[in-house]
Structure 1
Amino acid sequence: MKSAYVVTFSLLCTLVAPRAALSVDYPLPPPGSRLIGHNQIYVVPDDKKNLEYIAEKFDTGVLLLLEANNTVDPFLPKAGSELTIPSQMLLPDTPREGIVINLAELRLYYYPPGGKHVEVYPLGIGQLGRETPEMVTRIIQKIPNPTWTPTANIRARSAAQGIKLPAVVPAGPNNPLGRYALRLEKGGGEYLIHGTNARNSVGLRVSSGCMRMRAGDIKALFSQVAWGTRVQIVNEPVKYSVEPDGKRYIEVHQPLSRNDWENPQTVPITLTSAASKFIDNPLSDQAAIDKAITRRAGYPVQVNTGADGAKKQEVRPVNKHRRTSELTEQRSTTQGRDHS
Structure 2
Amino acid sequence: MMKTVRSSHWLATLTLAAVVALSALPARANTWPLPPTGSRLVGENAYHVVENDGGSLEAIAKKYNVGFLALLQANPGVDPYVPRAGSVLTIPLQTLLPDVPREGIVINLAELRLYYYPPGSNQVTVYPIGIGQLDSDTLTPTMVTTISDKRANPTWTPTANIRARYKAKGIDLPAVVPAGPDNPMGHHAIRLAAYGGVYLIHGTNADFGIGMRVSSGCIRLRDGDIAALFSAVKPGTKVNIINTPIKASVEPDGRRLVEVHQPLSKTLEDDPKTLPIVLNAAMTAFKDDAATDAATMEHAMEVRSGMPADVAAHHPESPDQTI
Shift of 1:159: 1.0
Q: Which runs of 5+ in 2 are unaligned?
A: 1-27
CA contact (8 A) 1:68 1:86 kept: yes
TM-score, normalised by the number of residues in structure 2: 0.88
CA contact (8 A) 1:40 1:87 kept: yes
Is residue 231 from structure 1 mapped to residue 221 from structure 2 by the alignment?
no
Opposite residue 287 of structure 1, the aligned amino acid is: A
Q: Deviations over 1:279-326 (max 9, x none)?
A: 110000111101100100000000111339xxx9747xxxxxxxxxxx
Q: Deviations over 1:116-162 (max 9, x none)?
A: 10000000000111210000000000110101111111111111111
Greater RCO (Cα-Cα under 8 Å, separation 6 or more): 1
CA contact (8 A) 1:145 1:178 kept: yes
- The number of residues matched between the two structures is 291
CA contact (8 A) 1:90 1:239 kept: yes
CA contact (8 A) 2:255 2:315 kept: no
TM-score, normalised by the number of residues in structure 1: 0.83
Alignment correspondent of 2:18: none
Root-mean-square deviation (CA, aligned residues, Å) is 1.4
Opposite residue 148 of structure 1, the aligned amino acid is: W
Residue in structure 1 matching 2:104, options 82, 92, 98: 98
CA contact (8 A) 1:38 1:314 kept: no
Alignment correspondent of 2:171: 163
CA contact (8 A) 2:106 2:240 kept: yes
Alpha-carbon separation, structure 1, partners of 2:314 and 2:118? 38
Q: Which runs of 5+ in 1 are unaligned?
A: 1-21, 316-340
Residue in structure 2 matching 1:282, options 285, 290, 308: 290
Is residue 113 from structure 1 mapped to residue 119 from structure 2 by the alignment?
yes
Go from structure 1 to structure 2 and tell me whether the alpha carbon gap of 1:162 and 1:218 turns closer, same or farther (over 3 Å shift).
same
Q: Deviations over 1:20-77 (max 9, x none)?
A: xx66100000111100112111111112400111000010000001110111101111
What does residue range 76-225 of structure 1 map to in structure 2 within 5 Å? 76-129=82-135, 130-225=138-233
CA contact (8 A) 2:68 2:209 kept: no
Opposite residue 235 of structure 1, the aligned amino acid is: N
CA contact (8 A) 1:182 1:222 kept: yes
4+ runs deviating over 2 angstroms: 312-315
Alignment correspondent of 1:55: 61
Give the fraction of aligned pairs with identical amino acids, expressed as a percent.
59
Q: Deviations over 1:230-263 (max 9, x none)?
A: 0000011000000112211000000001111111
Alpha-carbon separation, structure 1, partners of 2:307 and 2:143? 24
